[in-house]
Amino acid sequence: MSKAIHSMIRVLDEARSIDFYNRAFGMEVAHRLDFSSFTLVYLKSDDGSFELELTINKERTDPYDLGDGYGHIAFVVDDLDAEHARFGAEKLNPRKVVEFAPDGELIAKFFFVQDPDGYEIEVLQRAGHYQ
């Protein structure tokens, strides 16, 4: 049996990324490993064991090319409309709330936001499959 434990993204500015993920999702630094050419920072929220690993390559100054293979990271929340308003108040630039209801059946309610490095993040209302 396997268990997903983390997902890794490369970021340019450690402090900027930690601030974003803390303000947006309440994630805190759980572990930090500093090496000569790079740093690994593991972020975690209180309600789960899954971590987001930020990799900071110390000599890197140019933004990363995210390419066309990256999709998104998803977070689930209890009150999507309240979170959307909070993101706006935090100046995190959330996109509009979308209700995905093909054939009239609501499957998901969500919005997207980008982190400081351009990674797409989906924020979903907790319901149905999205728990």
Other CB atoms within a 10 A radius of the CB of residue 77 amount to 17
Q: pTM for the complete prediction?
A: 0.89
Each residue's pLDDT, cut to its tens digit, for the chain (131 residues) gives 768 889 999 999 999 999 999 999 999 999 999 999 999 999 999 988 899 999 999 999 999 998 887 889 999 999 999 999 999 999 999 999 999 998 888 999 999 999 999 999 999 999 988 98
Query: Under CATH, to which class is 71-131 assigned?
Result: alpha beta
Q: Within 10 A of 18 (CB to CB), how many other CB atoms are there?
A: 18
Beta carbons within 10 angstroms of residue 27's beta carbon: 21
What is the predicted pLDDT for the residue at 2?
61
Topology of the domain comprising 1-61: 2,3-Dihydroxybiphenyl 1,2-Dioxygenase; domain 1 (3.10.180)
CATH 3.10.180.10 residue ranges for the chain: 1-61, 71-131
Q: Which residues pair with 74 in a beta bridge?
A: 122
9 and 67 in contact (C-beta within 8 Å)?
no
Q: CA-to-CA distance for 28 and 45, rounded, in angstroms?
A: 6
Residues designated catalytic: 122
50, 57 contact by CB (below 8 A): no
